[in-house]
Structure 1
């Protein structure tokens, strides 16, 4: 039986030089909310809690975690890592409904779940991906994302220097300007490279068909979230019947929606985010019930969540590509040991137990809030 005896919470902040632009708003600084749990033998597990947006969402989640979750987590005992999340959902279902704050609570459940799996795999003395699938490799291909439309030439070149050959560009601002940028991208892309487009849910049912039709002669690999994830599955499926290569999932909050989308054979790219909704437990359940080669994990945050996602991708869909934010972010590059590396287009993992990386001792420059509770 594993007993949680010590908990640390880190809210990390990095002031990026250039804001990340999207159709729903700008990210002016980067945040990473990390939970670290320890057992009686001082084994630890770490997980990241999604807090990208709005800009101060991390502080809000930090306070909820500190004020409400710690008392339930400390001294909790488990044999199966998935039981931690199940226990917390039962405890917090009422307050989640009372506040109407589905997102923050689900994000916290997910990050704690990731920490429990990291701790569990360390105790089992296995890398996380090999605990799930002993044939997993120590690397996964990545595609460059977070590319602002008007900076695509510079960001694509930066990605190429890392050996990356897939690039996702943000559109959804003005369709005519988007088309100019896409034309430029197609003139830039080499024969061995591909690009994707991310609308960030910016189009409505009133203009989505017209806008997609204007892109019909372009050769993008996929068009991501052209409409809001709040639309019904039937509306999404109908849209997919009329247009090619659509991708969904980043903002779907119920697993059953992924099952329904999996039934549509035309949809090839489903993009759950394990730090936002479901954690590792739900993604593994998803992998048992839908076609694994459709699972292309979405991820945009700090190093911890990215590494956790890399383990799950390498275990479930080793031939897929994991999302990798190409923008400057020292919360991705400077907060873990050993250093996170992209080599020849692959995110490199290792043979260390768990996720294989630990939080760096040199975090002072990034710490916005910190809390520790010892039994």
Structure 2
């Protein structure tokens, strides 16, 4: 049964924060999000989220890109299913993206639309997204605490532990000597059942990354994420993997099924982390997640944004199964927490997957309305 889109709504939000979120490549001074709603001619709807963390003006840009540059490809058009929408939009926007060189924004808008369409399709069947993708999907998934600044890790890990987490990921890539010293100290504070990972956010050259893994070789890090730029030479990634006893992780900045096939085939990564808001949405990343699992690698979806993307990532992980963990940014974010992703539970270490249709989202929370910076609608 084809899907004819009759209405599209998109809203960009931006929330000021008292403590900026720092990475090795830049600082987020507020928390943005872009939420999209699609509706078919029968009135069935679905929700998605578009990546908006970078650049600083990215949220409003992507929302307007959807409305002003892609609306003609969507409204009143019929699609067989979500993969058909994904493939059609990717093909039809190729020259537009080539003309302006903005491959990322177009991919991210398509990813958000893909998630919304998958939500719509699942809602039509009365199933949760997780069970729409895999009938044997898990009813909950384990989480890890992410976004932890290495300089504040003692306090942030303690707070995360109190919230129910037993796995943590700290951001490194600022000062090599300080980072490695602080990491070593953190392991002295962990319980036996706790895990610590590190994320360099593409900070280092090959020589610097090799220095880090040599210095930290005796530390039982769960993984080292993006120690090199995602587009570093394959030989550099291979050299680092050969040099490291720490599993390497990456994927949030890999795009395309071919890109992930290459990443899987190199044997470099122990953990792969596609981000549904940056490329692929639910349907594209579902294909990739299955390939990762079939290759015997660990699938841990990357996500750092609002509530819709987090909930969708949890459904995808529940469908994929395995020993993966759901990334949960522990920095304050009203655009996530307003959705009550844990449904009132105080324990954040496990994420519940309810059986309600689709992603279980009907309307946006009223409390985020004051933070809207752009909102638009297209309809027949």
Structures share a fold, TM > 0.5? yes
Provide the residue aligned with 1:185 in structure 2. Answer: 186
Give the gaps of 5 or more residues in structure 2: none
Looking at structure 1, the residues matched to 377 and 259 of structure 2 have their Cα atoms a distance apart, in angstroms, of 37
Residue 51 (structure 1) shift: 0.9
Correspondence 1:241-256 to 2 at 5 A: 241-244=242-245, 245-256=247-258
Q: C-alpha separation between the residues in 2 aligned to 1:330 and 1:307?
A: 14
* Alpha carbons 1:49, 1:111 under 8 Å: kept: yes
Cα distance in 1 for partners of 2:59, 2:84 equals 25
Aligned counterpart, 2:289? 287
User: Structure 1 238/291 Cα, relative in aligned 2: closer, same or farther at 3 Å?
Assistant: farther
Counterparts in 2 of 1:43 and 1:342: CA distance versus 1, 3 Å:
farther
3-state SS of the aligned residue for 1:369? strand
TM-score (norm 2): 0.94
Report how far residue 202 of structure 1 moved: 0.4
Q: Quote the offset at 1:267 in angstroms.
A: 2.8
**Equivalent residue, structure 2, for 1:296:** 300
Q: Which runs of 5+ in 1 are unaligned?
A: none
The answer to whether residue 78 in structure 2 is matched with residue 74 in structure 1 is no
User: In structure 2, what is the Cα distance between the partners aligned to 1:228 and 1:115?
Assistant: 30
Once the two structures are overlaid, the 10-residue window that deviates more, 211-220 or 168-177, is 211-220
- CA distance, structure 2, for counterparts of residue 264 and residue 57 of structure 1: 32
Conserved in 2, the CA contact under 8 Å of 1:5 and 1:39? yes
Q: Secondary structure at the match of 2:146?
A: strand
Q: Secondary structure at the match of 1:16?
A: strand
TM-score, length-scaled by structure 1:
0.95
- Provide Cα deviations, 1:196-218, integer angstroms capped at 9, x if missing partner: 00011100123221222111121
- After superposition, the C-alpha distances for 1:64-85 in whole angstroms (9 at most, x for unaligned) are 1111112221112123111111
Give 1:234 deviation, angstroms: 3.4
Quick one: distance in 2 between partners of 1:184 and 1:338? 31
The answer (yes or no) to whether the contact 2:180–2:212 under 8 Å persists in 1 is no
Q: Number of matched residues?
A: 375
Alpha-carbon RMSD across the aligned residues, in angstroms, is 1.8
Identify if the C-alpha distance between structure 1 residues 341 and 72 changes in structure 2 by more than 3 Å, giving closer, same or farther: farther
1:368 is matched with 373
1:9 counterpart = 2:16: no
| Superimposed CA distance per residue, residues 108-130 of structure 1 (whole angstroms, 9 cap, x where no aligned partner) | 11111100100011011111110
1:165–1:194 CA contact under 8 A, matched in 2: yes
CA contact (8 A) 1:146 1:168 kept: yes
